[in-house]
Structure 1
Amino acid sequence: MAAACAQLCLRSRGLCSTASTWQHYLQVRHCIIVTKESAKISNGLFISGSHTGFQTRLKWKQQMCHYNDFTAKYLTTKAKENKYTEDLSRTDIVAYKATHMPTTDPQPISQNKISLDLDAAGEFSALEEISDEEAVSISIPSSMPSASTSLRDYVDKSETLAKLVQLGVNLFKLEQKPNVGSMLLRLDFNTDVAPRLLFLKEIGVEDSRFSYIITHNPFILTESLENLQARVNYLKSKKFSSETVASMVSRAPHLLNFSVKRIDNRLAFYQQQLKLSASNTRNILARLPRLLCGSLEPVKENLKVCQIELGFKENEIQHIVIAVPKVLTANKRKLTQTFDFLHNTMKVPHYLITKFPQVLNTKYLRLRERHLFLEYLGKAQYDPTLPNYISLDRLVSLPDDTFCTELALATLEDFYLFQKML
C-alpha cells in the first residue's frame, strides 16, 4: 500500500513540476520579449528624446530584477522538489525490501574472511610494486597465434616444433611447402614424432640424419609404422642389406613414402630398360637411391639422348650407367655440351669416353680450361697409343696444383694467369 501511495505522489508531483516549469517558461519568454522591445526603444529606433530614454531604461531595469527574482524562486523550488523525490524513492526502496526480500538475517562475516578478501584484492593490484623475483615468477598463459606466415611464431607455443628445432630441422624450408605448417602444428611429439624417429634409428639411420630426412620429407611423420616397416622388409627381400637400406633412406628421404608396389615397379623398370642383372641393378640404386623416388621421364629422355644424339651403343650405355649412375638424371643440355667438347673439340672417341665415363659428370668449365691450357703448352694428347698420353680420368679428377705439376709441368701461377686470359 505504501509503495502504491508513493508512486501516486511521484506522478502527481511530476505533473505539478511540469506545470510549474511551463509557467516559468512562459514568464521568462515574456520577459525576454519585453527586454528586446525595450532595447529597441532605447536605441532610438522608434522614439527619441532624453526623458523617454530615461523612462525606458528604468522600465528595463525593473523587468530584469523581476526576471532574476523569479529565476531564483524557481531554482529554490526545483531543489526542494528533487529532495522530496529522493526521499520518496528511498521510502519506496525500503518498502520494496520489506515486502520482497527474505526476513532471515544474513550470515555474519568474520573479520578473518574480510582480511583475506582484502589481501586477495590487493594481490592483483596493478599499482602495487613487486620485486624482480616476483616479476620473473609470474606465469602468463600461452596462446597460439591465430594466423602467421612463419612457423617461428609457433616455436615457443608448440612442443613439437621446439623439439624439431633442437634436432636441427630447418623450419624455413618446411614452411615453403604447402600445408606442411598446419600439419606439423597438429602433430604431438610423443605420439606422432618420437615413434617415427625410433623406427629410423632401429633400421640403422644415424641420429645426425634425422634433421635432413624431416626437412626434406616431413610427411614421413604421418606415415603409419606398419607401412614403413613393410617397405623396409620389401627392400630387404630384394637382397638389399640392412646397412644399404639405412643408407638409401638417409640419402633419399622420400623413399619410404612410396608403396611397395611402386618401389617394385621402379626396380623392374631399371632392370628392363638397361638390360642389367639384378646385382647390377641393386648396385646402381644403392649408390643413387633417388632414382626410385624421382620422375622416370628424365631418365627415359637421357637414355634416348645417349643412344640417338651421342651415338653410344647399348653395351657402352650400360657401362657408363654402372660407373656413373648420375648420367641418368643429368641435365640434358649439360650432358650434350660436355660430350660435344670431348668428342668434337678434344677429338676423344666413344670408346675412350666409355672407358672413363666420369668425364661426362665433370664441370664443363673445368674441362675446357684444363684442355685449353694443355693445348697452349702443346701437351693435349689423349690417345693411349701415343707418347705423352694424358688420362681423361686424371685430367678431370686431380686438384689444380697436382694437375699443374704432374700433367702440365707448369706452375699454379701460370695456370691462374692463363685463366684470366680466357
Structure 2
Amino acid sequence: MISISCFGLLFQIYHVKLNEMSSLCHRICYRWSSLRITGLIFSSKQETKLLPRASYSLRSRSGLDTHPCLLTQKFCGLKSSNLSFSAADSPPSKEDGAAWFAEDNVFLNTNPNHGKTELPSLSIDIQPVALGDVPAPSLFEEISEEDALQIEASPPLPPTSFTLRDYVDQSETLTKLVLLGVDLTKLEGRPNVANMLLRLDFDRDIKERLLFLRDVGVEDHLLGAFLTKNPFILSEDMENLQIRVQYLQSKKFSKEAIARMVSRAPYLLNFSVERLDNRLGFYQKELGLNVQKTRDLVTRLPRLLTGSLEPVKENLKVCRIELGFRDNEIQHMVTSVPKLLTASKKKVTRLFDYLHNTMGIPHHLMTKFPQVFNAKFLRIKDRHLFLEHLGRAQYDPTQPNYISLDKLVATPDHVFCVEIAKGTLLDFEAFQKTL
C-alpha cells in the first residue's frame, strides 16, 4: 500500500511538471513569433517608435484587441482596414523603446541568487491573426459619433449657378486660370463659355495651348487678358493652330509680326487658313495694294483680319462716293491710318464736312495728313475758332502764316498757343469759356 501510494504521488508530480513544460514551450514559441514581428517593425524604414507592451491600444471597430503584426500594415505602407489608434496612447521615448527591445531579446531571465528560472510575463493576451484574414471595410458599417465628426467632407457643388465663383475652389482648372489673370466675371456671362471651362482639364487641354501661345510670341503677362477675350482657343485643335501659324509664315510674316498680330487680335488663330487667305485677298484687291503693303496694313491693324467686313466696305464707299476721294488718295490714307477703315461713318463724315466746308481745306491736304481723321472734333473746332478770333486761321500753303493740319491737331495746348496762335494758354482757356 505504501509503495502504491508513493507511486501514485510520483505520477501526479510528473503529470504536473509535464503540463508546466508544455505550457512553457507554448509560451516560448509564441513569444518568439511576437519578437519576430517586433524586429520587423524596428527594421522598417519608416520613422516609427514601438509602444510599450502595456500601452498597446490597437483595436478593431468591434472592440477586440488586434494582433500587433497589423502595425506592419500601417508603417510599411500596406493596406489596413478597421484600425484606429487610441488618443490616450503616447509614443515612448527612445530609451524606453530600446530597453524594451533589449529585454524582449532574452527569453529566460535567470536569477543566480535563488537558483530558479523565471518566465517573462506577457501583459497582453495576443491572438494570432493572419494578414489575409482582416475583413474589408463595408460602406454600410456603422461608425461612432466621434469618428463621424473627424471626417472632412467638401461641400457639394451646386448643380446650377449663375457665377463661376461657386466652382473655383473645387476646380483646379478655374483656380489656375485665375492665377494666370483670367477675369472669370467677364466669361461667365458669355454663352456656353462657363460650361466649356468646367469641362476642361488644365494639364490635358490648357497647358499645351499656353505653351504654344508663348512660342508664338504672346508675353506671359498678356496670357490672362488673351484668354479673357478668347477662351475658345482652349478648345481649338492643336494641329489646326499650328497650321495657321505656318500659313502666316508662308506669307512672309516675320516672327515679330505674327506675335503682334496674335496678341492684338486674339481671335486670329481661330480663323481657318481659307478664311485668312480670303481676308488678305480682299484688302489687296479692294485697295489695289501690293503684297508688302497688304502685309504691313494687317500687321499694324490685325483686327482687319478678324472683324466684320461690313464697316470696311461701308467706309470705302463713303470715301469714294460721299467724300469724293480718289482711289489712290484712299490707298494712301488707309495705309497711313489703317483705323480709317474701321472708324465710325458718322465721325468721318462730320470731320470731313467741318474741315472741307468750314475751314476750306482741300482733299489733297487731308490726303497728305490723314491723321486728322483720328482727332477729336471739338479739339479741331475750338482751335480753329481761336485762330479765327486772332485772325490767324490760314491753311493755304501758298499764303503767308500758313498753319498745317499736323500742327493744328497734334501739338499740345501750350505749344499751340505760344508757337502757332502767338498767344497764351490763359487766353485760349478764357476764349473756350465763351463758346
TM-score (norm 2): 0.66
* CA deviation after TM superposition for structure 1 residue 179, in Å: 0.8
- Given candidates 253, 274, 297, the residue that maps to 1:284 is 297
* 2:251 is aligned with 1:238: yes
* 2:373 is aligned with 1:360: yes
Percent of paired sites with the same residue? 61
- Given candidates 207, 212, 221, the residue that maps to 1:194 is 207
Residue segments in structure 1 that go unaligned for 5+ positions in a row: 1-108, 127-133
Match of residue 316 from structure 2: 303
Match of residue 240 from structure 2: 227
Letter in 1 for 2:382: E
Taking a change above 3 Å as real, the CA distance of residues 118 and 370 of structure 1, as seen in their structure-2 partners, is same
* CA deviation after TM superposition for structure 1 residue 409, in Å: 2.3
The structure carrying a bigger helix percent of its residues is 1
Match of residue 151 from structure 1: 164
- 2: distance between equivalents of 1:349 and 1:206? 44
Match of residue 384 from structure 1: 397
CA offsets per residue over residues 169-214 of structure 1, 9 Å max, x none?
1212212211111111111111111111100101121112212211
* CA deviation after TM superposition for structure 1 residue 117, in Å: 10
Match of residue 14 from structure 1: none
Letter in 2 for 1:394: K
* 2:159 is aligned with 1:167: no
- Given candidates 369, 380, 385, the residue that maps to 2:382 is 369
Q: Secondary structure at the match of 2:261?
A: helix
Letter in 2 for 1:245: I
* 2:283 is aligned with 1:258: no
Q: Secondary structure at the match of 1:421?
A: coil
What does residue range 6-45 of structure 1 map to in structure 2 within 5 Å? none
Match of residue 178 from structure 1: 191
Taking a change above 3 Å as real, the CA distance of residues 153 and 173 of structure 1, as seen in their structure-2 partners, is same
* CA deviation after TM superposition for structure 1 residue 118, in Å: 9.6
CA offsets per residue over residues 146-180 of structure 1, 9 Å max, x none?
21111222221211111111111121221221111
* CA deviation after TM superposition for structure 1 residue 125, in Å: 7.2
What does residue range 137-148 of structure 1 map to in structure 2 within 5 Å? 139-148=152-161
Taking a change above 3 Å as real, the CA distance of residues 412 and 112 of structure 1, as seen in their structure-2 partners, is farther
Residue segments in structure 2 that go unaligned for 5+ positions in a row: 1-61, 67-81, 88-142
Taking a change above 3 Å as real, the CA distance of residues 124 and 353 of structure 1, as seen in their structure-2 partners, is same
- 1: distance between equivalents of 2:182 and 2:389? 50
Deviates more, 1:398-407 or 1:179-188: 398-407
Q: Secondary structure at the match of 1:268?
A: helix
* 2:335 is aligned with 1:322: yes
Match of residue 51 from structure 1: none
- 2: distance between equivalents of 1:374 and 1:178? 53
* 2:406 is aligned with 1:393: yes
Letter in 1 for 2:188: E
8 A contact 1:366–1:396 mirrored in 2 = yes
Taking a change above 3 Å as real, the CA distance of residues 121 and 384 of structure 1, as seen in their structure-2 partners, is same
- 2: distance between equivalents of 1:148 and 1:415? 57
* CA deviation after TM superposition for structure 1 residue 121, in Å: 2.6
Letter in 1 for 2:146: E
* Larger-gyration structure (1/2): 1
8 A contact 1:143–1:157 mirrored in 2 = no
- 2: distance between equivalents of 1:110 and 1:170? 54
Q: Secondary structure at the match of 2:433?
A: helix
Letter in 1 for 2:198: L
* 2:416 is aligned with 1:403: yes
Taking a change above 3 Å as real, the CA distance of residues 159 and 345 of structure 1, as seen in their structure-2 partners, is same
Taking a change above 3 Å as real, the CA distance of residues 375 and 141 of structure 1, as seen in their structure-2 partners, is same
Taking a change above 3 Å as real, the CA distance of residues 354 and 123 of structure 1, as seen in their structure-2 partners, is same
- 1: distance between equivalents of 2:434 and 2:147? 78
- 2: distance between equivalents of 1:110 and 1:268? 83
Letter in 1 for 2:401: N
Q: RMSD of the alignment, in Å?
A: 2.2
* 2:146 is aligned with 1:123: yes
Letter in 1 for 2:360: K
- 2: distance between equivalents of 1:395 and 1:299? 28
Letter in 1 for 2:328: N
Match of residue 88 from structure 1: none
Match of residue 69 from structure 2: none
- 1: distance between equivalents of 2:325 and 2:172? 56
Letter in 2 for 1:216: K
CA offsets per residue over residues 20-70 of structure 1, 9 Å max, x none?
xxxxxxxxxxxxxxxxxxxxxxxxxxxxxxxxxxxxxxxxxxxxxxxxxxx
8 A contact 1:299–1:329 mirrored in 2 = yes
CA offsets per residue over residues 363-390 of structure 1, 9 Å max, x none?
1121111111221222211111111111
TM-score (norm 1): 0.68
- 2: distance between equivalents of 1:116 and 1:143? 28
* CA deviation after TM superposition for structure 1 residue 269, in Å: 0.5
8 A contact 1:142–1:157 mirrored in 2 = no
- 2: distance between equivalents of 1:207 and 1:381? 51
Match of residue 7 from structure 1: none
Letter in 1 for 2:192: N
8 A contact 1:169–1:211 mirrored in 2 = yes
CA offsets per residue over residues 63-96 of structure 1, 9 Å max, x none?
xxxxxxxxxxxxxxxxxxxxxxxxxxxxxxxxxx
Q: Secondary structure at the match of 1:191?
A: helix
Q: Secondary structure at the match of 2:324?
A: coil
* CA deviation after TM superposition for structure 1 residue 255, in Å: 0.4
Match of residue 332 from structure 1: 345
